């Protein structure tokens, strides 16, 4: 069971790195969104540094969403998904492998790029570790919930827009508790465990439950 899972995961990561389009688009989009926001808000450095974690989190959600509809699209187009579903892995684990691959190739690079963009927003130095930390804890939920939307909108033309409508509301807890943890850490020691624990719990629940929903959605489209 484990060998085919790892095989599928490495194939997906290798394909994403080799084709490069999805990662490049997501990172570029992230850069541009963060770069144009100060132009709209004005050059008030205090304001920017105060709202920087929130901006970085929101922009990360949007960038990760941008590539979420591709999680199953190519495999569905070329018949790979059909053959995968007849393989030794249950469809739930196929969905999980592909969500992990999305996390590794999109969400993780975005989270690691966030501190660089924080420089552009004059973010406080003390906010960098909590920012990256909460993103590492919260982004698995984004990839796994995104995979549900990708499964549901598979085979639809212009599915990407529908995907955003379906999935963005589900990202709200990640955003609230991600930014909440950062504020709590900046406010003082101690108080951040509760929001961080809820963020982690949300991620864990998404990792466990989303593949079930995604597999059910994929079965409709096979």
Q: Which residues are at the interface with another protein (CB under 8 A)?
A: 3-4, 7-8, 11, 14-15, 18-19, 74, 77-80, 82-88, 222
Q: How far is the CB of 21 from another protein (least distance, A)?
A: 10
Closer to another protein at the Cβ: 100 or 185? Answer: 100
Element (H, E) at 102: helix 91-102
- By the 8 A CB rule, do 152 and 181 touch? no
**Min. distance of Cβ 10 from another protein in angstroms?**
9
Closest approach of another protein to the CB of residue 5, in Å: 9
CB-nearer residue toward another protein: 8 or 52: 8
Q: Please give the structure tokens belonging to residue 97.
A: 């492998």
| Identity of the residue, 8 or 123, whose beta carbon is nearer to another protein in the bound complex | 8
| Burial of 204 (C-beta count, 10 Å sphere; 0-12/13-18/19+) | middle
Beta carbon of residue 144, minimum distance to another protein (angstroms, whole number): 22
- Angle of CA points 184, 170, 142, to nearest 5°: 75
* Nearer of residues 34 and 218 to another protein, judged by Cβ: 218
Angle between helical axes of 128-152 and 91-102 (0-180°, round to 10): 140
């Amino acid at each position: 069971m484990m060998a085919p899972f790892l095989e599928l995961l490495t194939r997906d990561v290798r394909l994403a790195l080799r084709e490069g389009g999805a990662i490049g688009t997501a990172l570029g989009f992230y850069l541009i969104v963060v770069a144009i926001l100060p132009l709209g808000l004005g050059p008030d450095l205090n304001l920017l540094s105060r709202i920087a974690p929130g901006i970085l989190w929101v922009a990360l959600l949007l960038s990760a969403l941008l590539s979420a509809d591709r999680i199953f699209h190519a495999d569905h187009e070329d018949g790979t998904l059909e053959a995968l579903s007849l393989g030794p892995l249950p469809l739930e684990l196929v969905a999980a492998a592909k969500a992990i691959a999305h996390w590794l190739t999109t969400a993780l690079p975005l989270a690691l790029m966030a501190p660089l963009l924080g420089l552009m927003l004059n973010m406080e130095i003390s906010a960098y570790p909590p920012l990256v930390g909460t993103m590492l804890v919260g982004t698995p939920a984004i990839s796994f919930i995104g995979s549900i939307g990708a499964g549901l909108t598979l085979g639809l033309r212009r599915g990407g827009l529908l995907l955003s409508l379906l999935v963005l509301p589900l990202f709200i807890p990640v955003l609230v508790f991600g930014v909440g943890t950062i504020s709590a850490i900046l406010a003082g020691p101690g108080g951040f465990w509760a929001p961080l624990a809820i963020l982690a719990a949300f991620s864990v629940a998404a990792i466990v439950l989303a593949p079930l929903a995604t597999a059910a959605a994929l079965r409709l489209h096979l």
